[in-house]
Amino acid sequence: MRQIIAMGGGGFSMEPENLSLDRYILEQTQKPNPRVCFVPTASGDADSYILNFYKSFSTLPCRPNYLSIFKPPSADIEGFVLEQDVIYVGGGNTRSLMALWREFGLDQFLFKAYQAGTVLAGISAGANCWFEDCSTDSLPGEFQPLTCLGYLKGSFCPHYDSDPERRPSYHQLIGEGALKGGLAADDGAAVHFIDEELVQVVSSRTTAKAYRVKRNGDQVQEETLESHYLGNVYP
């Protein structure tokens, strides 16, 4: 079973007192003590980000570790990746993440892990990366389209409710044909795919939603998707 869970925002880095999305990700492994690997490439392996990951995940039923592209844990990066039950990609600069992954072949290693059943997850840049393309502010100025890994069809836009420029720019890029239609997610919302099919939207906040955005003729249409609030499961 191939699984990807893409978060618009939230998780340990934005909601350290509410780890319901992180618990949900771990639960999808169906293992009592899964190996979860944090990949902080998009942040330049920020020490504070890695520290916060360990601080949060040490309280959860899992075995946390992390993968640094700048200081790999082993010459056999592929073998290290394939040992993991969850790959959890952090936020930051999506363009830098994609460039470094392709240079080191991590994009290919992650695809092998995905095919083998490793749960792929991530927030913001770590959610963008799994789709065909995304809307990103990796460079100063207006939001730009960026080609990503393409494990999932369509485009993605995170932080849909918290950044006032996200919704209008995403609509504009889709309307112009610069981006494929796709999904957008608020902070605290995540889209869960199984075998490349969207099976559920989950949220750590009662107001967090995900949306399907597509071009229909000269118009861009936005549909709010039904969301399952995890607070009812993880109080």
- Residues 105-122: pLDDT tens digits? 999 999 999 999 999 999
Alpha-carbon gap, residue 88 to 83, rounded angstroms:
14
Task: Of 71-75, 100-104, 136-140, give the lowest mean pLDDT range.
Answer: 136-140
Pairing outcome for strands 35-39 and 197-203: unpaired
Beta carbons of 225 and 208 less than 8 angstroms apart = no
* Local confidence band at 161 (pLDDT 50, 70, 90 cut-offs): very high
Cα end-to-end distance, the chain, whole Å:
28
Alpha-carbon gap, residue 230 to 172, rounded angstroms:
32
What average pLDDT does this structure show over 226-231?
94
* Calculated CA dihedral for residues 96, 86, 50, 152, nearest 10 degrees: 30
User: Taking the model in full, what pTM does it have?
Assistant: 0.95
What average pLDDT does this structure show over 157-179?
94
Alpha-carbon gap, residue 153 to 132, rounded angstroms:
6
pLDDT at 157 over 80: yes
In what side-by-side order are the strands of the sheet with 210-216? 144-147, 131-136, 152-157, 182-185, 210-216, 219-224
What pLDDT shows up at residue 136? 87
pLDDT at 140 over 80: no
* Local confidence band at 225 (pLDDT 50, 70, 90 cut-offs): very high
Residues in Cβ contact with 148 at an 8 Å cutoff, skipping those fewer than 6 apart: 94, 98, 128, 129, 130, 131, 132, 133, 134, 156
pLDDT at 69 over 70: yes
Question: What distance lies between CA 99 and its chain's CA centroid?
Answer: 17
What average pLDDT does this structure show over 199-226?
96
* Local confidence band at 231 (pLDDT 50, 70, 90 cut-offs): confident
Alpha-carbon gap, residue 187 to 172, rounded angstroms:
21
List the structure tokens of 194: 């199984």
Closest residue by Cα to residue 38 from 93, 111, 88, 101: 88
What pLDDT shows up at residue 234? 66
What average pLDDT does this structure show over 159-163?
93
Beta carbons of 118 and 25 less than 8 angstroms apart = no
Mean pLDDT, the chain, rounded, equals 95
Beta carbons of 192 and 199 less than 8 angstroms apart = yes
Alpha-carbon gap, residue 223 to 235, rounded angstroms:
28
The set of catalytic residues is 124, 159
What average pLDDT does this structure show over 145-149?
96
What pLDDT shows up at residue 235? 56
The proportion of the chain whose per-residue pLDDT surpasses 70, expressed as a percent, equals: 98
